[in-house]
Homo-oligomer: A and B are copies of this chain.
């Protein structure tokens, strides 16, 4: 008779366990709406007691906010590869890079930004606004316009607005398949070029 003391559960480092639960939560929240996902589901998926979720994230809502935060974090562009050509060329490069990012996230990305619903959640709104802001800043820098201009705030505002079109166009491409990547590329590049090259100067004269 071997004294096999197989442990019922393994004890992990807090960071690892946190990450593991977060992964499962991301998957489930991506599949079903918030109210349809129970903490029991997440706990079962992670092979963990339900109470552990509360221990690490406080509440279901806390976990949800972490998921949102994780999902909307956009990597920073590698600016060393940006060409030195005309505005149109730099824009084209930026848009192409942007579509690469979207393509890599695929359905997961859509699950995050694809659904807009009723429900004024200030926390979620704050997180998304922050993500939009940094994304806009990145884009402006990548394209090479000086951010420190006097009208920098307005520039970032219209770039954030443009971000709305990026998301919507991405949905058309990824989920609905009504536009090809090439078409999206063309549309976004031309629109952004016009926005930065034409409209923005006009705006400053208002």
The docked-state distance in angstroms from the alpha carbon of A6 to that of B154 is: 61
- Residue in A119, A120, A166, A190 with the greatest tally of chain B CB atoms within 10 Å: A119
Contact of A29 among B118, B125, B202 (CB under 8 A): B118
Contact status A178-B157, CB under 8 Å:
yes
Is A88 part of the binding interface, using a Cβ–Cβ cutoff of 8 Å?
no
Known contacts A29-B119, A111-B118, A115-B121, A199 near B172 by CB under 8 Å: no
CB proximity to B under 8 Å, residues A185-206: 186-187, 190-191, 194-195, 198-199, 202-203, 206
**A residues apposed to B, CB below 8 Å:** 29-35, 61, 64, 67-68, 71, 110-121, 124-125, 128-129, 153-154, 157-158, 160-169, 171-172, 176, 178-180, 182-184, 186-187, 190-191, 194-195, 198-199, 202-203, 206
Contact status B118-A116, CB under 8 Å:
no
Q: List 7 A-B contacts (CB under 8 A).
A: A33-B119, A34-B119, A68-B118, A116-B124, A186-B199, A186-B203, A191-B195
Contact status A120-B116, CB under 8 Å:
no
Closest CB in chain B relative to A43 CB, distance in Å: 18
Contact of A187 among B35, B171, B203 (CB under 8 A): B203
Q: How many copies does the complex hold?
A: 2
The docked-state distance in angstroms from the alpha carbon of A67 to that of B117 is: 10
Closest CB in chain B relative to A136 CB, distance in Å: 10
Across-interface contacts of A121 in B (CB, < 8 A) = 32-33, 115, 117
- Residue in A125, A157, A163, A186 with the greatest tally of chain B CB atoms within 10 Å: A157
Across-interface contacts of A124 in B (CB, < 8 A) = 33, 115-117
Contact status A120-B128, CB under 8 Å:
no
